[in-house]
Amino acid sequence: MLFSNPLIYFVVIPLLMLAGLSLCKNIKQIRAVAVIGSIGLLALSTVLLVKYLAMPPINGDHQMAWEGSWQWFPQLNICLSVGVDGISLAMLLLSSIIVFAGSFASWTINQPKEFFLWLILLSTGVFGFFISTDLFTMFMFYEVALIPMYLLIGVWGSGRKEYSAMKLTLMLMGGSAFLMLGLIGIYYNSSVDGQHTWNLLEIARNHAITPEWQRLLFPLTFVGFGVLGAMFPFHTWSPDGHASAPTAVSMLHAGVLMKLGGYGCFRVAIYLMPEAAHELGWIFLVLTGISVVYGAFSACVQTDLKYINAYSSVSHCGLVLFAILMYNQTAMTGAIMQMLSHGLMTALFFALIGMIYGRTHTRDIREMGGMMQIMPYLSVCYVIAGMASLGLPGLSGFVAEMTIFVGSFAHTDTFHRVFVIIACCSIVITAVYILRVVGKLLFGPVHNEHHRQLTDATWWERLSTATLIICVAAIGCFPNFFANLIKPTFVEEIFKVFQYNS
Amino acid sequence: MNSVGSIILYAIVTLVMVVCSVLTVTTRKILRAATYLLFTLFGAAVLYFMLGYEFLGGVQIAVYAGGIVVLFVFAILLTGKPADNAERLTAKSTFLGVFAALAMLGVGAWALCSRVTRMLTGAAMPEKAQETVDQIGEQLLSSGHGGYLLPFEAISVLLLACIIGGVVIARKR
Amino acid sequence: MDYSQFLAMKQEIALLVVFLLVFLYDTFMPQRSGKGLPVFATVLMLIATIGGFCSCCLGGTCSLSAFSGMYETSAAIVAIKNILNIGVVIVLIQSIRWANGPDMAVRRGEFYELLLVTLFGMYLMISARHFLLFVIGLESASLPLAAMVALDKKRYESSEAAIKYMLTAVFSSAIFMMGLSFVYALCGSLYFETIYINLAAQMSPLLILAMAFVLAGVGFKLSLVPFHLWTADVYQGAPTSVTSYLSVISKGAAAFALLVILAQAFGTVYSQVWSWMLYALIILTITVGNLFAMRQRNMKRFLAFSSVSQAGYIMLGVIGFNGTAMAALMFYILVYIFSNLGAFGVIQAIENNCGKVSMDDYKGLYKTNPRLSFAMMLAMFSLAGIPPFAGFFSKFFIFTGALAQGSTAMYVLVLIALINTIISLYYYLLVVKAMFISPDESVIPTFRSSCSERLGMWIAVAGIIFLGIVSCVYNWLLGIGAHTAIFQ
Amino acid sequence: MSPTIPILILAIPLFMFLLLGLLGMKMSHKLAGWLGCLGMGTTLVLAYCTAYTYYFGGDFVGANGERLMSVVFNETWLAFTDKLVISMGFMLDSISALMLVVITTISFLVHLYSLGYMEGEKGFQRYYAFLSLFSFSMLLLVVATNIFQMYIGWELVGASSYLLIGFYYTKHSAVSASKKAFIVTRFADLGFLLGILVLSFTTQTFDFAELCGNPTAQVTAFAGKTFMGCSLLTWALILIFTGGMGKSAMMPLHIWLPDAMEGPTPVSALIHAATMVVAGVYLVARMFPLYLWSFDATTFIVVVGAITAFYAAMVACAQIDIKRVLAFSTISQIAFMMVALGVASEGEGQVCHHGLGYMASMFHMFTHAMFKALLFLGAGALIHAVHSNDYTAMHGLRKFMPVTHITFLIGCLAIAGIPPFSGFFSKDEIMAACYAWHPVIGVWMSVVAGLTAFYMFRLYYLIFWWKEHKIEHGHKPHEAPLPMLIPLVFLAAVSCVAGFIPFGHFVSWNHLPYDIHLDWTIAGISVTIAVVAIVIATVMYRKENPLPAKMKALLPALWDWCYHRFYWDELYMFITHKIIFNGICRPIAWFDRHIIDGTMDAMATITNKASVAIRGLQSGQVQMYVWVYLIGALLLCGLGVMAVIL
Amino acid sequence: MEITLIFWLVPSLIMFCCGVYGFITRRNMIAMLISLELMLNSVDINFALFNRYLFPGQMEGMFFSLFAIALAAAETALAIAIILNIFRKVKNVDVQGLDTMKF
């Protein structure tokens, strides 16, 4: 039955939270609902993770754990299909962690009821997306996750919030316009016998999309998801959007929502259309390669903390897509680790920036300085986040990037090699802009004497950041656990035909 | 081969219809336009008679000429002095009007000629059985093939609605 | 004469009965009980609707042809009529307060009578299998509407809108009938069936011109670009209740009627002609409608252009030309009815309470009237096609239906339509922005809507939320679409 | 050997870091300091035990008497593929055991020393936490069982170096110095990473045991692969060496090291003199079996080393900041070690002169660690006393700080290569190896050695001789406290005797014991040059006299260039700021905001414009409406005709 | 000379075009209605002609004309009612004045 499948609860819990929130009378109840709900999600994903690891490994043949399928629109073969593998489980864990941290990060937001309503709706979309194996529901949840952003940024944002919110929404919806076309196209080519299906596992099993159709549909799908994955040149929503968004929204958006893009590129575009991916991948490889370096260079000269981080996200998420396009297991593992890692650390970054901004009311690094003396806790967290971002061993960024580089380097032709080397260069540029910020913002003398009165983190802020830091460190210290969890064993199988081997 | 009489009649009817319709839309006195319209409608009625549709011709005179044109005249008299000249047309609106009319004429003529002449060049009016008013009435209220019971009932509803509408709009309250 | 033939027209007869009862009530009841008329009419209409559903459920797939093929009814036709009925019921519920207003005291009955006649006309359009009947239906659906548009005699705009509508409608019907005369010249009959058979060997410029004129005539009702220019002015000028009726019901009926004409009269032999025409019309309609809607500040005018562009999406269901697309079309119409009426319900409530119709007046509405703005937002999201609201499903299905053919041209068309959804999202979000985000000007004070307004709104909101998620509605329509032999 | 002790060696510093880092703020300074010392002391003991067991335990001697390479433990940390696995392990061989001794010794001494030096500083606990982190990372680096573990340690030492250089984070110069250090080394690490990628992709392993244990197999894997005219092996090795260049401050990546002196002086002693900066040397030594197969790569090392050595020595002659002098001296000495490693190879797997250079390099690394740490700690004591880095503020300190004076002198003598101090022995071996490889290099290095003696004694005289300054405000320079003196004395003692260690018995390129023979000719030349240099320094700087000024006037350009370190920093500033920052970053940011974003905005604007442009269509005129209607219908007909025709 | 179909059709078409012209150019709304009548009349004539010339065996075209005349009458009546309504408000029947709502 529907409710005997544990995955359904990833959607049910947020829905219950929504119901609970709408009954709430005061801020205490709202907080209680948010915290209980996010703990529930966190617990659920952890329990499933443990159970998943205890399961015998699911090998090949396009299987997933806890698969379930319930007819929804039978004539169109639309089902509510769920199923997870290590990758989606990792994404679910990431999402629940960030929702948890985000709830605490928006502890004192004004109009909390509406805020949490939208935030939870957003996370419903995210969870739903990750558990879905049906392209229709996947797409539906994808859009559910996008639209609350508009109000969240528009109402609770700062700066040019109306412009940014509109831009972000329209660009992402633009992406999803391409995506929708691609998905419907996939549906109509999903099988040879006319029994079309939306179920991506079945589509993969059928392997019926002809190369001609793939050539049409692959770019549509990849670009569709790539927009959300901040692929150059469709990334410009990201700096403005992130800069204007409130803390928890930036966290969720950069931490989880952008992962939808990478995950989708991987799960849909490449998984279902390997031939076209093989053939046309180079175009996107160029674009993502540009993203990686371009984002990093752009971040070097920004003065707004959120802009820096947004461009850094462009760079890091570019690396995700870059690695995905390498079509080998190691690089893909790296890509997914990078998603996890970037999700956590960028959430941490945005949380910290939000906290700092909440105190100083500026995000311009030229107007701040010596924060280390004023708010040591936040500053130390910032340094840790920075270190994670520039790939310090022991934190998550390092393992992800190294896996990507080692995996990507296995691609032997010169074209790929050159791009790998270019991508590698990003580690230096990353160091430059991270250290620039750390140096200007945290170190040095105090710029503004008024800032001396500011207080350090409160307990909920500490909880929020500490959670993220622990996760970042956990991935960084025990990478093999995660690598084994997410290793996409099917990649080699799909691309065996093209003789990619490392 | 048509008789000379019918050709002359044709010429007159056509001339009246064409000239009067042109005058209807070009005259600057609105009451005259209504009058020219009347002549045009009469021309059409004569055409119906020539085609052998006496009933239709009768209806044309009764409803159109007798009803509608009178309605127009009333409306004209109600809304202004009949002697008033219409304002002069601007070049732009003339151009647009002429352009539209000529475009319509061109396309229509081309379409008609391409089809009708190919099929019927030189074909005279075929013979047909003379229908009586009986038959017309019979068919109007028949529910079989070629029967118009349903449209007849439907248009009655429409006319009722138009009466209601006309009343509700035209009355002062 | 075989009067038993009329028995095939159950829904029409039910409607005429309602019409008659309202007429009698209006004529013979004393003046003071006039206030009961709106509720009376609404309840009657509701009964008729329920009856329609019952007959639909009991009768199963009852394909019937009456009057020697002049009239036809089938499961799909009953379904679309029922859908229209639902819309009319909602419109009637929403307009109770307006109809009970002091201005309407002397024309309360006429509003309902005219409305029912137009609905009757639409029924005829849908069921007609003979062009004369179709024309009568078309005229019945548009002439009384002009009177309805002019119903608000206090406002000059109302009359102006009415005459604009009248003039363009008659012009359009003249063109349409011209086209019909060409069809007649080619086929020698106005029965769809005969046309379908005789048209097969008739390719000529005359046929193309006839098709163009017929499309233009129906396109006028649907307000397809470039035949849409009346739309905005009329929507703006008409009383809001009439506008909401105009925007959803007549559009839905015309779309379905067009589908029937194309499927049963013109057929697939020359489908490349009309499908290319439709192709161009759809692109133009969606794009131009969107471009105009972007700049509108008057909510009614705004929704007018939004409905123009929605008509383009509806047409995707026609050009898709198969059972799936037809089901999607009906579903789209149903969802569109609920979404648009949701929006109009809010507009009407606000207009009735404080007479504001400008988007600028809506700024800060959330602060004063959170429920109204929430309903409005849901309606906007649904119109924009945002999940999990019904509009998303209807858009998705109509695209799916359109793409079933799998031709590249169709992919391009859908892509253009999809890109246009972004523009549409933009202007729908403008409304949301005005209500939720824009600085709090609070032009509109807090007020409590009347029962009927709230009821109408709740129904619309419920539809917006549940129509998509609860799959049985679409499944039902798909089942009908699969079983109905509209496509020969 | 049981893995307990090695694990503890790594775990204790890590634990201390976490303890002091997380709870340090709650502790008193004293407690934190002593905890740090205790932790490091324990590590020291354990490391000595390990080294003793290795060298003298007999368990690690192979059949031919060679010292074995032993992997004590090796746990998978991250498996990329079946073959490419990063493990965390502990490898014991002759050089890692050596490094264990060096690192723990110096680190412990610095811990101890800092108790005095850093007393009362804000962030004392943090300082000890960072020291522990550094010790952990450095130990992780040297005991690495695979090249990726080394890279991890490499990055971690870089980070801890960054943190320690920037310890005085309120000082602007410290912040920028730390940033510079990190970025420059990061840039070098990019090379290292690429090298690892090339190497591991070709050989399909990260493991040192496989890479170096069986170099011929790896060389076969590389056979025939070339890139841009150079064999791929050479590329890989040069790229890896690039990493070493960065960490070991070889030209042209040396610019961070002088600036790194902004950190606390004990840190300079530990990181920027004794341990981290020799990581590059250690890396090359570790990969030496592979380097043997690429003569191009070793030649490259020799050339870079030789140039660096000379350059640094030149610059050191003209600096006035004593720590800078020592920094350049460090650069120069490390370059010696690099050259020594380079000249040990003859290509094609053959060593030159029995691989003397390898042993010499390691030997020098050991002795240099001791005496350079000594010099730095001495300098620290001086700075502690006068609160300035500038020798002009010092002069004549020998009376006030006798112990420091003596130990510093010992250090100077050692570095100058005067027998019987340790530096003489190790440097002499290097010279011998250089002469054996190519006389030009030999002569070149001899000149550098002379310069070394000269600038060290210049420094020595300027600090301890000359006339003391007037004592102002009753602030009299004073001898350092006991915790600072103990390390000084200890190191001085080691510097005196370390030369007599039969080093060849412990470390050699093929792990076979090897007897050192002093080459008396070369030794004689070296000593002569050193003595002459010292004499010149004495003449010029023993007392305040006009000679230096005259010299300066004689070659103003040279002095200027030396003083400004040959304008390397300015060049870098130009490249980074003018070219990269203003020439790449800003245009890209501009491009992004105006072109990319502009395009997106332009789409919106165009839509808006189009919307305004067609508004005339809706003119409100019914006649226009029908006109459009009619024309539309006719055009539709035209479209239909076209559809038929096409 | 035979008076064939086309001889009749062309005047009818001209009538239609005159209607179009008048509708587009005349500013008096009643004149516009008059033009509309021309157009509708032309349609009626067409139907009658086609019926008579091409399909003499039946009367569909004739009936269409019959109903069309009724429709035209209804339209005219309603339109004149609305025009009078407007006339009461603005005291003229100039169509170009009807532009309070535009763009």
Domain for residue E103, yes or no? Answer: no
Out of B62, B87, B112, a domain closes at B87
Shared-domain flag, residues B105 and B133: no
Residues of C within 8 A of D610 (CB-CB) are 291
Structure tokens at B84: 């008033």
Per the CB < 8 Å rule, is D629 touching C172?
Answer: yes
Cα D172 to Cα D180: distance, rounded to the nearest angstrom: 12
Structure tokens at C137: 């239906």
Tell me whether C412 touches chain A (CB under 8 Å): no
Per the CB < 8 Å rule, is A436 touching D152?
Answer: no
- Total of domains in chain E: 1
Q: In angstroms, how far is the first alpha carbon of chain A from the final one?
A: 43
pLDDT at A364 over 50: yes
Q: Tell me: the pLDDT tens digits for D433-462?
A: 888 888 888 888 889 988 899 888 888 888
Reported as half-sphere exposure (CB side, CA atoms, 13 A), residue D580 has a value of 17
- Distance of residue C436 Cα from the nearest chain A Cα, in angstroms: 7
Per the CB < 8 Å rule, is D183 touching A427?
Answer: no
Q: Which residue carries 């109770």 as its tokens?
A: C96
Q: Stretch C332-356: mean pLDDT, rounded?
A: 93
Per the CB < 8 Å rule, is B116 touching C69?
Answer: no
Task: Give exposure, D7-45, as e/b (b: 16+ Cβ within 10 Å).
Answer: ebbbebbbebbebbbeebeebebeebbbbbbebbbbbbe
Reported as half-sphere exposure (CB side, CA atoms, 13 A), residue A346 has a value of 33
Test the C interface: residue of D637, D639, D646 with most C CBs within 10 Å: D637
Helices E60-90 and C156-187: crossing angle in degrees, nearest 10, is 170
Residues of B within 8 A of D634 (CB-CB) are 103-104, 107
Q: In angstroms, how far is the first alpha carbon of chain E from the final one?
A: 55
- Total of domains in chain B: 3
* Residue of chain B whose Cα is closest to the Cα of D630: B100
Residues in Cβ contact with D397 at an 8 Å cutoff, skipping those fewer than 6 apart: D382, D385, D386, D404, D405, D463, D464, D468, D477
Query: Which residues on adjacent β-strands are paired with residue D226?
Result: D231
* pLDDT tens, chain B, 173 aa long: 578 888 899 999 999 999 999 999 999 888 899 999 999 999 999 999 988 899 999 999 999 888 899 999 999 998 877 666 777 778 888 999 999 999 999 999 888 888 765 555 556 677 777 777 888 888 888 888 888 999 999 999 999 999 999 999 988 77
* Residue of chain D whose Cα is closest to the Cα of A398: D152
Q: Tell me: the pLDDT tens digits for A402-438?
A: 999 998 888 888 888 889 999 999 999 999 999 999 8
Classified as helix, coil or strand, A81 is strand
Residue type, A68: G
Q: Are strands A78-84 and C64-66 parallel, antiparallel or unpaired?
A: unpaired
Q: What are phi and psi of A84, to 5 degrees?
A: -135, 155
3-state helix, strand, coil in chain E (%, to 5): 80, 0, 20
Q: Which range marks the domain in which residue E38 is found? A: 5-94
Number of C-beta neighbours around residue A28 at 10 A? 9
Task: Write down the pLDDT at residue A501.
Answer: 41
Q: Is the bond preceding D289 in cis, omega lying within 30 degrees of 0?
A: no
* Residue among D619, D313, D354 at smallest CA distance from D445: D313
Residue type, E28: N
Q: What is the mean pLDDT of chain C?
A: 90
Sign of CA dihedral D142, D144, D146, D151: negative
Number of C-beta neighbours around residue C39 at 10 A? 15
> Closest to C171 (Cβ–Cβ): which among D614, D626, D632?
D626
Shared-domain flag, residues B77 and B7: yes
CB pairs under 8 A between C and D: 94
Is residue B130 within 8 Å of B53, Cβ to Cβ?
no
Q: Which of the four pLDDT bands, split at 50, 70 and 90, describes residue D580? A: confident
Sign of CA dihedral E30, E35, E36, E40: positive
Is residue D526 within 8 Å of D360, Cβ to Cβ?
no
Q: Do chains E and A touch (3 or more CB pairs under 8 A)?
A: no
Structure tokens at C454: 């709230």
Q: Do chains B and D touch (3 or more CB pairs under 8 A)?
A: yes
Shared-domain flag, residues B31 and B78: yes
Task: Write down the pLDDT at residue A502.
Answer: 37
* Residue among A263, A274, A235 at smallest CA distance from A141: A263
Q: Which of the four pLDDT bands, split at 50, 70 and 90, describes residue D397? A: confident
Residues of E within 8 A of B139 (CB-CB) are 59, 63
Residues of B within 8 A of D637 (CB-CB) are 107, 111
pLDDT at A6 over 80: yes
Q: Which range marks the domain in which residue B34 is found? A: 1-87
With a pLDDT cut of 90, the percent of chain A lying above it is 52
Q: Stretch C127-134: mean pLDDT, rounded?
A: 94
Is residue A298 within 8 Å of A429, Cβ to Cβ?
no
Cα A163 to Cα A161: distance, rounded to the nearest angstrom: 5
Per the CB < 8 Å rule, is D627 touching E24?
Answer: yes
**Whole-angstrom Cα Rg for chain E:** 17
Q: Tell me: the pLDDT tens digits for D400-439?
A: 888 888 888 999 988 888 888 888 888 888 888 888 888 8
Q: Tell me: the pLDDT tens digits for D162-196?
A: 999 988 888 888 898 999 999 999 999 999 999 99
Q: What is the mean pLDDT of chain A?
A: 89
Domain for residue E99, yes or no? Answer: no
Classified as helix, coil or strand, C64 is strand
> Closest to B109 (Cβ–Cβ): which among E10, E26, E75?
E10
Per the CB < 8 Å rule, is B100 touching D637?
Answer: no
Q: What is the mean pLDDT of chain D?
A: 87
Q: Stretch C195-220: mean pLDDT, rounded?
A: 89
Classified as helix, coil or strand, D86 is strand
Per the CB < 8 Å rule, is C429 touching A166?
Answer: yes
Query: Which residues on adjacent β-strands are paired with residue D74?
Result: D89
- Distance of residue C98 Cα from the nearest chain E Cα, in angstroms: 22
Q: Which of the four pLDDT bands, split at 50, 70 and 90, describes residue A60? A: low
Q: Which of the four pLDDT bands, split at 50, 70 and 90, describes residue A372? A: confident
- Distance of residue C205 Cα from the nearest chain B Cα, in angstroms: 5
Task: Write down the pLDDT at residue C485.
Answer: 67
CATH of the domain at E62: 1.10.287.3510
Is residue D332 within 8 Å of D454, Cβ to Cβ?
no
CB pairs under 8 A between B and D: 15
Per the CB < 8 Å rule, is D623 touching E101?
Answer: no
Q: Which of the four pLDDT bands, split at 50, 70 and 90, describes residue D231? A: confident
Q: Stretch D49-65: mean pLDDT, rounded?
A: 83
- Considering only A174-188, B45-59, B113-127, D242-256, which range has the smallest mean pLDDT? B113-127
Per the CB < 8 Å rule, is C411 touching A76?
Answer: no
Structure tokens at A42: 């966190």
Q: Write the DSSP string, A261-326.
A: HHHHIIIIIIHH-HHHHHHHHHHHHHHHHHHHHHHHHHHHH--BHHHHHHHHHHHHHHHHHHHHTT
Cα E53 to Cα E4: distance, rounded to the nearest angstrom: 8
- Total of domains in chain A: 1
pLDDT at A271 over 50: yes
Per the CB < 8 Å rule, is C168 touching D629?
Answer: yes
Q: How far is residue C301 from each of residues B122, C286, C420, C460, measured CA to CA in Å? A: 55, 16, 19, 21
pLDDT at A88 over 60: yes
* Residue of chain C whose Cα is closest to the Cα of E99: C160
Cα B43 to Cα B18: distance, rounded to the nearest angstrom: 9
* Residue of chain D whose Cα is closest to the Cα of A370: D170
- Distance of residue C253 Cα from the nearest chain A Cα, in angstroms: 25
pLDDT at C272 over 70: yes
Q: Stretch D556-566: mean pLDDT, rounded?
A: 82
Shared-domain flag, residues B24 and B98: no
Tell me whether A301 touches chain D (CB under 8 Å): yes
Q: Which of the four pLDDT bands, split at 50, 70 and 90, describes residue D475? A: low
Q: Tell me: the pLDDT tens digits for C8-50?
A: 888 899 999 999 999 999 888 887 888 889 999 999 999 999 9
Polymer length in residues for chain E:
103
- Distance of residue E2 Cα from the nearest chain C Cα, in angstroms: 20
Q: In angstroms, how far is the first alpha carbon of chain D from the final one?
A: 87
Q: Which range marks the domain in which residue A444 is found? A: 2-501
Q: Stretch C441-468: mean pLDDT, rounded?
A: 89
Tell me whether D622 touches chain E (CB under 8 Å): yes
> Closest to E98 (Cβ–Cβ): which among D618, D622, D626?
D622
Domain for residue E102, yes or no? Answer: no
Per the CB < 8 Å rule, is B56 touching E66?
Answer: yes
* Residue of chain C whose Cα is closest to the Cα of A136: C396
Task: Write down the pLDDT at residue D82.
Answer: 85
- Distance of residue D625 Cα from the nearest chain C Cα, in angstroms: 6
Tell me whether E41 touches chain C (CB under 8 Å): no
Q: Tell me: the pLDDT tens digits for A273-300?
A: 988 988 888 999 999 999 999 999 999 8
Cα E97 to Cα D623: distance, rounded to the nearest angstrom: 12
pLDDT at D473 over 70: no
